[in-house]
């Protein structure tokens, strides 16, 4: 079955550490996205990529970095510059030319600073 796989499901980060969240899709979607969700809030866009080797900053990119070396993969690194990283992170993908197909979301990674 096609879908998006995020790992790990839970992640704990110490102060000053960089951590990387994985997002893999086998839907043959062109575009991939990272969103952050804080408790009781909506989703905010961190980074997005429409094609391989290209990506754009979203609304809250500071303290995060991404890469898009393969169509299937869009990992997100939370750097030590992100001062308040505790949140629920969701990865999504879509087909650029098929808006009616909508956006598919992964199951999420819950990141906690310890």
* CA contacts within 13 A on the Cβ side of 104: 20
Q: What is the CA radius of gyration of the chain?
A: 13
Least Å distance, CB 102 to other proteins, is 5
Please identify, using beta-carbon distances, which residue of 80 and 88 lies nearer to other proteins. Answer: 88
16 forms part of the interface with other proteins (CB under 8 A): no
Please identify, using beta-carbon distances, which residue of 12 and 101 lies nearer to other proteins. Answer: 101
SS3 101: helix
27 forms part of the interface with other proteins (CB under 8 A): no
53 forms part of the interface with other proteins (CB under 8 A): no
Q: Tell me how many degrees the CA angle 31-35-36 measures, rounded to the nearest 5.
A: 170
Least Å distance, CB 68 to other proteins, is 13
């Amino acid at each position: 079955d096609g879908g998006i796989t995020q790992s790990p499901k839970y992640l704990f980060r110490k102060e000053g550490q960089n951590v990387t969240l994985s997002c893999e899709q086998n839907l043959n979607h062109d575009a991939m996205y990272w969103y952050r969700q804080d408790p009781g809030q909506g989703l905010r866009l961190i980074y997005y990529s429409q094609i391989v080797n290209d990506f754009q900053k979203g609304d809250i990119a500071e303290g995060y970095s991404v890469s898009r070396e393969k169509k299937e993969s869009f990992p997100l690194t939370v750097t030590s510059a992100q001062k308040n990283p505790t949140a629920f992170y969701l990865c999504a993908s879509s087909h650029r030319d098929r808006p009616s197909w909508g956006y598919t979301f992964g199951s999420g990674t819950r990141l906690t600073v310890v």
